[in-house]
Homo-oligomer: A and B are copies of this chain.
Amino acid sequence: MSAPTPPGHAVTDLLGLVALGELLAFERMAADARLAPDLRRRAALSEMAAAEIANYRRVADRLAALGVLPDDAMSAYVAPLQGFHDSTEPRDWAEAVTKAYVGDAITDDFLREIAGALREPDRQLVLDVLHESRYAEFAAAEIRLAIEADPKLAGRLSMWARRLVGEALSQAGRVAAADNGRLTALIAAGGQLDVAGLFRRLTAAHTARMTAAGLNN
């Protein structure tokens, strides 16, 4: 028998998940930048990475203001998030930008959905850490350029994008399990949300983005 979930905990769990997501996205994008074919593109992905760590700082500061050590709020999610990145290491530049494109966008869609379950100021904070669209445009342009140069690439990158989504969903299950369901309880408590509907919307948006970048879903 578990006690009723304290809503405060669920909020800091969620912020911990968001903070860790930013921190690991920073690390992986910074590492993937070395796959870039020239220094200009290498710098562009590095700048995308740097935006993540600035967001990390905002969320970590909010956790501290709520009296929670960011490390404590994040620790439950290290294994699944690290697992996602370890199982999706890009082999080349095209895979790296596809991962940045797909990963950022799904993260943003997810954050937008759960923001509705939060009160202010956390609602606005989560909406604020959404990615700037100029980064998505850079990534999509790089994908289209790579496919233009080598049309066979479209198939491989489409498969890669499907694998990214598959891994993300599989790790999302581990995330939901990681904190004894407090996070899922928070999302459900938002009222507007049903999980099936959430997945449907995330998938539809993902499909539209694949098409926009010249990939098949």
Chain A residues within 8 Å of B, Cβ to Cβ = 20, 23, 26-27, 30-31, 33-34, 38-40, 42-43, 46-47, 49-50, 53-54, 56-57, 60, 69-71, 74-75, 78
- A interface secondary structure, majority: helix
B30 near A42 with CB under 8 A, answer no
A136 to chain B, nearest CB (A): 18
B60 near A53 with CB under 8 A, answer no
* 18 pairs, A vs B, C-beta closer than 8 Å: A23-B42, A23-B46, A26-B30, A26-B46, A27-B42, A30-B31, A30-B46, A38-B71, A39-B71, A40-B70, A40-B71, A43-B57, A46-B56, A47-B56, A47-B57, A49-B50, A50-B50, A50-B53
B27 near A34 with CB under 8 A, answer yes
In the complex, given contacts A27-B30, A27-B34, A47-B57, what are 20 additional A-B residue pairs having Cβ atoms less than 8 angstroms apart?
A20-B39, A23-B42, A23-B43, A27-B33, A27-B46, A30-B30, A30-B46, A30-B49, A39-B75, A39-B78, A40-B69, A40-B70, A43-B56, A43-B57, A43-B70, A47-B53, A47-B56, A49-B50, A49-B53, A50-B50
* CA–CA, A50 and B33, complex, Å: 13
Name the residue on B nearest A40 (C-beta): B71
A60: chain B residues within 8 A (beta carbon): 43
